[in-house]
Amino acid sequence: MSPFNAFPEFGNFNDNATAFSEALHAFEQGEMQRGLHILHGLDQHIQLTGDLKSLVHLLPRVKATLSRYQDDENDRVKMLNVQHKKVLGVVASENRRIAHSGPTLAALVANYPTAFQNSFVICDRGTYRDVFRRLYEGTTDIAPKCLVLRSADQGGLSEMAGLLSDGSLDTVMFLTDATDLETSDARTLVRAAIRDNAEIYMTFRSISDRLDYEGSQSISRKRPSLEDEGIAIVAHPDRKLECMHWLVANAGRIAKFRRVFATGMTGAWVKRFLEAVGFPSDRVVCVKSGQDGGDEQLSRKVMANQCHHVVFFVDAQWAPPHEAAIFSLLRACTARDLTVNLLLNERSANSWIQTQPVAA
């Protein structure tokens, strides 16, 4: 099989010169990974066939291009960040990428075009192929600049986690299907975002709210009233103080909600602080602590459409035996037929809460 067929989603080429020209074009469009894959196949082909004749006149450009794009990938991201308002990590599970209707990434890109066009997007190969390349085919002049990582099942999520750790990326939109949270790579990405206090949004609603906050108002979205909704506030032991600080700073906004749910000791503190600002005590519902089944109780509230926002101050170092209960709650929040706003650390919670009105 020809090396040019090794990555069919990046194109097939009849000769070396065409392949190299396409690689240069990919670099000019910001599709770094695609260009590197084409050059890699080109290099393999030359080694196998010894065919250098078609590239003799291009060798100086080959050398210059390889020198430019074999630099550390994170340095390229940082360089491009200077030229763009934001570096945005975007990943979507296969069945959350594109459809004729419903809460998909394609719908978000269509509803908030300027948010993505004004950002430098880092995404896995599948997300790029199914969403960005498909939506912007033939309109490269307005397409977002993209760095394409490996596919999610080939290490792309771990690559994105590495960019978070290196400080090259600080916002991730991970529109995930509940079942994908079973994979180790998905959990690695979530942990990395929580650990580095990066913004991470994992549901259609949380991403929509974030994009609204950036001023990229949706062309078709009507926001629900908080007076008709419930919010859950949860914190791991090492995050309770951080949670209470956030609660006190934003009590006026939280008081807009119809109902406040909280687990265990966090619930006792939440009730005390909200009562101090005049929030009726009968609107605070305290369930069991997480280790005694509180996470499962909140999952049922979410599934019953009683809880629409979950602010979870997660300790990135959580460990069994509570991990199963934690991901049970996350799976409930990311169910396709629900519209839940899920926030997993202080930075994400702060970005969201600032979009909400203060109670009169």
Please return the burial class of 301, using the count of CB atoms within 10 Å of its CB with bins 0-12, 13-18 and 19+: buried
Give me the sheet containing 259-263, strands edge to edge: 145-148, 119-123, 86-92, 171-175, 199-201, 341-343, 309-313, 230-235, 259-263, 284-287
Spell out the residues 6+ positions from residue 23 whose beta carbon is closer than 8 angstroms to its own: 34, 35, 36, 38, 39, 42, 65
CA separation for the pair 95, 105 (Å, rounded):
10
Distances (CA, A) of 176 to 17, 102, 105, 335: 40, 14, 10, 9
What dihedral do alpha carbons 181, 183, 185, 190 form, nearest 10°? 20
Question: In 271-345, where do the E strands start and end?
Answer: 284-287, 309-313, 341-343
Is there a catalytic annotation at residue 295? Answer: yes
Q: At what angle do helices 156-165 and 184-195 cross, to 10 degrees?
A: 10
Catalytic residue among 124, 170, 196, 295: 295
- Alpha-carbon distance of 193 to 201, in angstroms, equals 10
The residue to which tokens 């809880």 are assigned: 307
Please give the Cα distance from 13 to 20 (Å, whole number). 9
Give the CA distances from residue 324 to residues 48, 289, 301, 327, 345, in Å, rounded to whole numbers and listed in that order.
50, 15, 18, 5, 19
Residues with catalytic roles: 295
